[in-house]
Structure 1
Amino acid sequence: MNSFDKAQVSIQQLAKILRQGIKTKKKEVLKKIYNWQYINCIDLWVKLISANIRDHDLQPFLYTIIQVINGVVCLFPGPRYLPLRLKCIQMLNQLSSSSGVFIPVSSLVLDALEFIGNNKQDEKLGKDFDVSAVLKVPKQWLKLKYFQEELVLSLIELLSVHFSQWSFHISFPDLATFPLMRLRKFHEKITAESLRRPVKRLIDQVQQNVDFLQKKRDDAAFSPKDLESIESFVQIGTSSGNLPFVQYYASVVRKSLPQGVPQKESTQEQIVSIKQQKEVLDKSPIVIVDEASSIDGSKRKKQRT
């Protein structure tokens, strides 16, 4: 058995465990999924695929692992599993960035935001903890002010990563329309100023990028059928970071960095990263993952734009 076959067997085993959990919903089966061994195994394949997909034909693995991750999110939709959802969204963003595949993670983020604001924030229960260190939280944590703030900031960061990957693309005004509607609705619902401020800033920055690209689209002289012109639509110097959303995204990343990392250097790294993402998309057609496809990839469908 060669390495390709071994990888296929391993990833299909992950899909098999997930299918069993979806079908039976038995407690002992579900415990095999929401544990660090299973999630770290997925994460290992995500990192391997992301690092090698440009040089090797890993498309079958890519789509299978995407469906596995989506399946995990759907299997554990409750608020106590929000840290697990964050981890899954992070992995989907990584796969999207490295492969040039459009993965609609915005709905996963926005669905998670629906759990915020429904719980009264209890100052007395507040304590510091690392959201990324757990997959499931105790019920009482959902009322913690600190937990809600950290959750919102984490979700904003993940949504910013997603938007940054497509901030230069001609379709950005369209893909941002519905998320903006839901973000504005969420902003109106919440009352805590510590939550309203970062959400409002994200809304403003996304809207600026939408307006910027919409103006360029309105001024474009080519038709939607001119694929060559569409591919070279945004030649606006991502290396200089002059897209409205780029500087905002860099600031979000700076805030999430550990202390001691030079901010100027990290900003430039993020701009370079966005430029590299654009180069990936320029070299390969954009593919939209069909959410209706099976988690083992046997009925995978692709739509090219």
Structure 2
Amino acid sequence: MGKVKKATRKFNQKHLKGELERRQKNKKAQQLHKRREQRSKRAGGGGGGGGEDSDAEQFTGIDEVDDLAEFAGSSIKGVDEDPARFMQSDSEAGSDGDSSDSENIASLLKGDDGSGDDDDDDDVAFASADGGGSESEGGSGSDGGSGSDGEDEEETFKRELEAMKEKDPAFFKFMKENDPEALKILEEQGSEDEDEDEDEDEDAGAGSDAEMGDDAEPDSDAEAGSDAEADSGTEVTAEMLGAWEREITGGNSIRALKGLLLALYAAAHMESENDGGRGSSPYRIRGMGIFNKTISTAIRVVPKALEHHAPVANGKVARTSKKWRVVQALIKSYLASLLELLRQMSDPAMIQYLIKECDRAAPYFGAFARPTRDLIKELLRQFGSGAADDGVRVMALLTLQRVVAAAPQAGVVDAALKGMYLTYVRNSNVKTLVSLKAIQLMRNCGVELYGVDAKASYQHAFVYVRQLAIHLRNSMQLRSKESFRAIYNWQFINSLWFWVEVLATYCGDRAEDKPELCDTLESLVYPVTQVILGVARLVPTAKYFPLRIHCLEMLLRLSAATGVYIPILPMAIEVLESPEFLSRRPTKSTLKPPVLDAQLKAPKEYEHTRVYLETVLEAVFGLLADTIASQSVRIAFPEWVVPAALQLRRWRKRVGKSWTRFSKQLQGLLDKIDQTARLVQQHRAKVDFSPSNLAAANQFMSTTSPDSTPIGVYAASLRKVREQQRAILIEAEAEGARPAAASASASASASASA
């Protein structure tokens, strides 16, 4: 390579950056101008085409952009706190401290660009951790500045130094010799980590005599040993455990309680001590028999002893008692041992047992900030674990509720709510119906937790719903393949499902039980509805009919529960009036019917096939029946249903011969609509109030259930058939997974023996 000219070097130093920015602006302006020309051509009827690529550029929901922009730039009403505190790092808020927690939930959701295949769009990862302050406050990930840019740059530099030390030790050595100042950050970070580890040892109750409390009775067993015995540790025996238990149950001996807790700590850290880890306990555990007996004895005896020395009143520990200074170190040691055991266990039954013990000890956890934070992190880890069963998740939820109620610290509720939502989002990628069932359970558990505090729930809901609106607004404006993938993925859809369930539960199903929570959250119904409408209409092509069906189900759930009218029928009828049904002949296929519940878009082999379109029609007819049935006891039902009935009759007349089975099903739906309209008219003929009396009109047929009307009975029968089909598919998937796992293990054992 030749020598660079002096003029080139000057240009690179002074003008290159500005020239690149100018060219980038010109390129964006040209692209914007090109898109505007395409839109004007389509508006003038010159678009033509009609293929899938041309359909992908169409967008019928542009009217929602202004509403989304207004909501995205708004702030929490009636709240004095800074919403940016919800975007703190997990180390401050009490969530996971893993590397995944440094992700930014307000950054654009990114897809798998490596494959280049559209079929992988469903597997797009959702950036689901806490961050997000810049985009939430500024409306855009790049425009909204953050006050922690310097800290972010420093953390990035530290990570780069650590990576350089591992990948390129020669260059690291060169840096150390020639620029030692740059490496001081890394050394300071290492010393800070060591200090934190020392703090953890002190707070966890490692078990030394000084840590157990100066006011406690002296431990004669520990003092009598020689230095050699202290190094090797006294071996715990069954006789020692029995003696401690008798002294504790008989006389509430603090000395015996201290010895038992030291043995429990040694059992909890047995693996780390065998590996050369911390050996701060004067006792050693030898054999699984003593290990199990130590744990069972401690869990059976210690809670009763703690209740005697530090009684619990109204779910909280009385910290003003005389013995509190003596026993608080013992309590910390017990809590630290429980958490350590919970981290190590993998058996679901044992995990449930330990979580139940943590639930019993919730008042004691609530007395200390750090153990409470550690317990919340561990419960959330167990809640989101892929190996966790339903019992573990439910028990983790119940314990979280107890901890939130018992802890007086201000940030506990925020840490629990935030951690629960982010854990749900990280684990909400649907693969099969079985995984969908597990995600629904996690969603129900999260909804339960969001009912503990009205003010905190509204603050978190507002921040995260606004972030979803920001993502959608950016996708509407950018209109690129990557921006569409940021919305059309399971994490985004399940996030919407989460907030729909929160609103439907506390503003509908249980509104009377928690009126304060209903009044607080009710203002979020409109923005959530707008986001769902925008998502459904972002790419209105036949490939994404499954996603639109999911959006219709969300709107139906929200409308039926809250009583807020949402125009669902026009969006459902848009699917029927698609060119796939009206003008294009479907291709025949021998494929099995797709499972739309576990899909967001049609697989490539299913596109334009008859089996795929028939499955879509079944789902749409079920949604039509459910939507009409939800309004069947309204006083205006006969007039409200007329436009939809006319459109359905027109569709049946136009394409009914091509879809004979669905034409008959649609005729049955129309007959039930007519019967329900006549029923409402009969009740309406008996009323004695005018249309201006809205209160009486809202109480019209209030004693009649929508499921008891003709259209309601018809919709319930369709719903029952769908539920039975889903149960059969879930059972088939579960049975298919078991033989596959058995065959895999058999082949592995055969290869090992060979």
TM-score of the superposition, structure 1-length normalised?
0.79
Alignment partner, residue 28 of structure 1: 482
Question: How many Å separate the matches in 2 of 1:164 and 1:143?
Answer: 31
Return the letter of the residue paired with 1:61: L
Relative contact order, higher structure (CA 8 A, sep 6+) = 1
How far 1:70 moved relative to its partner? 0.4
Alignment of 1:143-154 (within 5 A): 143-154=608-619
CA offset at residue 87 of structure 1? 0.2
Offset of 1:207 from its aligned partner? 1.6
Distance apart, 1:78 and its partner CA = 1.5
**Matching residue of 2:598:** 133
- Tell me, in whole angstroms, the C-alpha distance in 2 between the residues paired with 1:19 and 1:260: 34
Q: How does 1:102-121 map to 2 (within 5 A)?
A: 102-115=565-578, 116-121=581-586
**Structure 1: distance between partners of 2:481 and 2:595:** 26
- Structure 2 gap segments, 5+ residues each: 1-84, 86-413, 415-455, 728-754
Which deviates further from its counterpart, 228-237 or 188-197?
228-237
Q: Alpha-carbon deviations, 1:236-277, whole Å to 9, x = none?
A: 6439x642222212211121122698xxxxxxxxxxxxxxxx
Q: Corresponding residue for 2:667?
A: 200
Alignment counterpart, residue 224 of structure 1, candidates 677, 684, 691: 691
Give the aligned partner of residue 705 of structure 2: 238
**Cα gap change, 1:117/1:141 in structure 2, threshold over 3 Å: closer, same or farther?**
farther
- What corresponds to 1:101 in structure 2? 564
**Partner secondary structure for residue 589 of structure 2:** helix
Q: 2:543 matched to 1:80?
A: yes
8 Å Cα contact 2:504-2:558 kept in structure 1: yes
Q: 1:27-53 CA deviation, whole Å, 9 max, x = no partner?
A: 211110001111111111111221222
RMSD: 2.1
> Are 1:67 and 2:530 an aligned pair?
yes
2:594 touches 2:615 (CA, 8 Å); kept in 1? Answer: no
Amino acid at match of 2:621: I
Is the 1:156–1:199 Cα contact (8 Å) retained in structure 2? yes
Correspondent of 1:211 among 653, 678, 702: 678
Partner of 2:647: 182
Equivalent-residue separation in structure 2 for 1:52 and 1:152 (angstroms)? 32
1:3-18 counterparts in 2 under 5 A?
3=456, 4-18=458-472
Partners of 2:681 and 2:607 in 1: how far apart? 39
Q: Unaligned regions of 5+ residues in structure 1, if any?
A: 262-305
More deviation in 53-62 or 11-20? Answer: 53-62
**Paired residue for 1:249?**
715
1:150-169 matched pairs, under 5 angstroms: 150-169=615-634
Secondary structure of 2:556's aligned partner:
helix
Residues 676 and 711 of structure 2 are in contact (CA less than 8 Å); yes or no, is this contact kept in structure 1? Answer: yes
Q: Which residue identity lines up with residue 550 of structure 2 in the other structure?
A: K
Give the 3 Å change call, closer, same or farther, for CA 58–122 of structure 1 in structure 2: same
Q: What is the Cα deviation at residue 133 of structure 1? A: 1.8
Measure the CA separation in 1 of the matches of 2:723 and 2:595. Answer: 14
In the TM superposition, residue 74 of structure 1 has moved relative to its aligned partner by 1.9
1:62 shift after superposition: 1.5
For 2:618 and 2:584, locate their aligned partners in 1 and report how far apart those are by CA, in whole Å. 17
- Residues 214-241 of structure 1, C-alpha deviations (whole Å, 9 max, x = no match): 23334533321123432332256439x6
The 8 Å contact of residues 50 and 98 in structure 1, kept in 2 or not, is answered as yes
- Give the structure with higher Rg (CA): 2
- Report the CA distance between 1:101 and its aligned residue: 0.5
Instruction: Give, as a single letter, the amino acid of the residue that structure 2 aligns with 1:220.
Output: V
Distance in 2 (alpha carbons) for counterparts of 1:165 and 1:124: 36
CA contact (8 A) 2:626 2:712 kept: no
Asked if residue 49 in structure 1 is aligned to residue 503 in structure 2, the reply is yes
Q: Name the CA distance, whole Å, in 1 between partners of 2:480 and 2:726.
A: 46
2:567 aligned counterpart, secondary structure: coil
**What amino acid does structure 2 have at the position aligned with 1:254?**
K
For residues 114-159 of structure 1, give each alpha carbon's deviation from its aligned partner in whole angstroms, at most 9, with x where no partner exists. Answer: 1224332333354322122221224653432222221111111111
Question: Which 4+ residue blocks in structure 1 deviate beyond 4 angstroms?
Answer: none
Question: Does the 8 A contact of 2:633 with 2:704 survive in 1?
Answer: no
What is the percent sequence identity of the aligned residues? 28
Among 92, 103, 108, the residue aligned to 2:555 = 92
- Distance in structure 2 (CA, Å) of the matches to 1:221 and 1:47: 38
CA contact 1:125–1:144 (8 Å) conserved in 2: no
| Distance (whole Å) between structure 1 residues aligned to residue 589 and residue 663 of structure 2 | 21
SS of residue matched to 2:537? helix
3-state SS in 1 of match to 2:689: coil
CA distance in 1: counterparts of 2:545 and 2:615, whole angstroms? 11
Kindly provide the amino acid, as one letter, of the partner of residue 30 in structure 1: F
Given that 1:149 and 1:194 are in contact with CA atoms closer than 8 Å, whether structure 2 keeps it comes out as: no
Change (3 A) 1:16 1:259: closer
Question: Does the C-alpha gap of structure 1 residues 222 and 60 become closer, same or farther in structure 2, counting only changes over 3 Å?
Answer: closer
Which residue identity does 1:93 align to in structure 2?
A: L
